[in-house]
Chain A
Amino acid sequence: MTTDRTLFDYLLRLADSDLILAQRLGEWLGHGPVLEEDIAFANVGLDLLGQARMWFAYASEVETRMNGRGRTEDELALLRDGGDFRNLLLVEQPNGNYADTIARQFYFDVWHELLLTRLERSADARIAEIAAKALKEVTYHVERSTDWIIRLGDGTDVSHARMQAAIDVLWPYTGEMFTADATDRALTGDGVACDSESLLAPWRERVGAVLSEATLTLPSAEWMQRGGKQGVHTEHLGHVLAEMQWLQRAYPGAQW
């Protein structure tokens, strides 16, 4: 059954994945392979950051209902420690080369679009509303990352090798997008969230089709990393947070 506690936890998962990926994309700005790419990735980053802020705003309302006071978006984003972050392990992986960044984005975008398409019909009106708004942006994100997978996969020998390597290395981080834990199950039962496992088949189909057009091979490894949704992260997250949260922590209580 949906409780405010589980709803809050679920909203943080949505917010945190958007936030951490936006933070990673922000690192690219000014360093992309061509000016148009700086502009495009800034767009995607801004969209994700905007979506994170909408999820945080709703999470804050839910927390107010629970505790009488909900934390602000900045308190949630900038004053929680790593163990309280609920983002997917995938999005905290370093930018690497352009193929790594594109592979991470593509895996995420395809899942994100499927998820939001379901959440658009959530029994929770606020979730449905935010998902509908985000979906418009994410449809474009999928289109863009798909194009790049194909271009780099079917470009030169060098780009093909780099794209395949990135697809393989990040593959084990895709599993947790489709595993359901108690939080997922509680919310799915009420039609608030969607059944994560049911996203796997359409995701594989879509990813497989794109990789095949890109002359790339869908990885076959079965073993998957997990832990992000429960707050057990890779070593990378701590560094992301150290940078992202530094000013708020160095000057407690200051307004910016």
Chain B
Amino acid sequence: MYAQMVDTGAKRVRSLDELSPEERAFQERIDADIKIEPKDWMPEAYRKTLIRQISQHAHSEIVGMLPEGNWITRAPTLKRKAILMAKVQDEAGHGLYLYCAAETLGVSRDELIADLHSGKAKYSSIFNYPTLTWADIGAIGWLVDGAAIMNQIPLCRCSFGPYSRAMIRVCKEESFHQRQGFDIMIRLCQGTPEQKAMAQDALNRWWWPSLMMFGPPDADSVHSAQSAQWKIKILSNDELRQRFVDQTVPQADFLGITMPDPLLEWNDERGHYDFGPIDWQELFNVVKGNGPCNRERLSARVKAWEDGAWVREAALAYAEKQAAKAAKQAA
């Protein structure tokens, strides 16, 4: 999940009877699965929540380029280097689609970026963990992109047209990312004992943070209910998390590596895997800014933006000069 704990401004979900006629008509459209488009009337809280959710998702793509970009220059083969460059480039592209989708709601990309840099806007907690070995690039594709897809496939059906269409494009590329990550893991697990140990170590470090990507348990999540009503959240945090565990455990078995969870066990009665308790304190801490790489990630983004200011200013100045010349010629 690239958007976690998105605030909807709601304390509880109101029933249809409690809504104004406009709000009621809006909710009825959503209930009938008719997409909301940027020019349609929408409640202010819906608009604000979507801006928060979509921009958080966009920021996650952009910040997410950093941990993976960390290995482009050290990729072990030319083929892996090309794949990784293409993948990180895709993420920049996803960021772009998503910023554009958010802009249809009446904010500018610059405002959204300013909110990221000031710390007001969040991005997914997962990107505050370090990529220490090449196996981490495999684990990110396999687990992090795997978790992202789990969340984003349902969002292809979300109520807001531009977001839903962006998700359809993003998901196509994400599934390629997930496969390339798993392919790295296969190669490592079939490799030397050192490579296999590298794969196990990456799984140990990325497993729990990946489960946290889906957000806090449903019971603690007021905002989820409102988002579900608006169909900008289709499945609950716990449902998605369970699906992810059920899908991923057999893949780890195939690789011959083990989840770092002694309580993980198939439950015949439920038809799902049971898993151990998640350390929510860790998630809240990382979201607050106290993860292993929060400071580095944000300062890398701010540095890129500040170092690039003169380039953006120059491009703008040049465009203005050209426009002035064209106007003069036309006159």
Q: Are A39 and B93 in contact (CB under 8 A)?
A: yes
Q: Are A38 and B89 in contact (CB under 8 A)?
A: yes
B62 at the interface (CB under 8 A from A): yes
A231 at the interface (CB under 8 A from B): no
Q: Are A254 and B191 in contact (CB under 8 A)?
A: yes
Counting chain A residues whose Cβ lies within 8 A of the other chain, the interface size class is 35 or more
Smallest CB separation, A16 vs chain B (Å): 12
Q: Are A154 and B77 in contact (CB under 8 A)?
A: no
- Which residues of B are found within 8 Å of A159, using beta-carbon distances? 310-311, 313-314, 317
Q: Are B86 and A39 in contact (CB under 8 A)?
A: no
Partner of A244, one of B73, B93, B311: B73
CA distance A39 to B97 in the complex (A): 13
CA distance A246 to B134 in the complex (A): 11
Bitwise interface map of B from 298 to 331 toward A, beta carbon under 8 Å scored 1, else 0: 0010011101111111110110010000000000
Closest-by-CB residue of B relative to A243 is B73
Closest-by-CB residue of B relative to A26 is B72
Bitwise interface map of A from 149 to 177 toward B, beta carbon under 8 Å scored 1, else 0: 01110111011001000000000000000
Among A46-54, A110-118, A220-228, the one that faces the other chain is A46-54
CA distance A255 to B184 in the complex (A): 10
Q: Are A156 and B300 in contact (CB under 8 A)?
A: no
Closest-by-CB residue of B relative to A214 is B318
Q: Which of A38, A150, A243, A254 has the most CB of B within 10 A?
A: A38
Q: Are B312 and A34 in contact (CB under 8 A)?
A: yes
B293 at the interface (CB under 8 A from A): no
Smallest CB separation, B241 vs chain A (Å): 29
Bitwise interface map of B from 97 to 111 toward A, beta carbon under 8 Å scored 1, else 0: 001000000000000
CA distance A49 to B80 in the complex (A): 11
B66 at the interface (CB under 8 A from A): yes
A247 at the interface (CB under 8 A from B): yes
Q: Are B310 and A158 in contact (CB under 8 A)?
A: yes
User: What count of chain B residues pass the 8 Å CB interface test?
Assistant: 48
Bitwise interface map of A from 81 to 101 toward B, beta carbon under 8 Å scored 1, else 0: 000000000000000011000
Smallest CB separation, A61 vs chain B (Å): 17
- Which residues of B are found within 8 Å of A27, using beta-carbon distances? 72-73
B65 at the interface (CB under 8 A from A): yes
Closest-by-CB residue of A relative to B195 is A254
Closest-by-CB residue of A relative to B198 is A251
B32 at the interface (CB under 8 A from A): no
Q: Are B304 and A33 in contact (CB under 8 A)?
A: yes
Q: Are A244 and B74 in contact (CB under 8 A)?
A: yes
Smallest CB separation, A253 vs chain B (Å): 8
| A36-B96 contact, Cβ under 8 Å, with A46-B89, A158-B314 | yes
Smallest CB separation, B60 vs chain A (Å): 13
Question: Which residues of B in the span 108-152 have a Cβ within 8 Å of any Cβ on A?
Answer: 134
| A30-B74 contact, Cβ under 8 Å, with A98-B311, A256-B134 | no
In the complex, besides A42-B88, A78-B77, A244-B73, 19 extra interface pairs with C-beta distance below 8 angstroms are A26-B72, A30-B66, A30-B69, A31-B300, A31-B303, A31-B307, A33-B309, A35-B95, A37-B311, A46-B89, A56-B78, A77-B78, A151-B315, A155-B317, A158-B310, A247-B74, A254-B191, A254-B194, A256-B184
Task: Please list 11 pairs of residues, one from A and one from B, whose beta carbons are closer than 8 Å in the complex, sorted by A's number.
Answer: A35-B96, A35-B99, A37-B311, A73-B78, A158-B310, A244-B73, A247-B134, A251-B195, A254-B192, A255-B191, A256-B134
| Chain B residues within CB distance 8 Å of chain A | 62, 65-66, 69, 72-82, 85-86, 88-89, 92-93, 95-96, 99, 134, 184, 187-188, 191-192, 194-195, 300, 303-305, 307-315, 317-318, 321
Q: State the 8 A-B residue pairs at the shortest beta-carbon distance, nearest first.
A: A33-B308, A155-B314, A159-B314, A42-B89, A256-B76, A30-B65, A30-B69, A33-B311
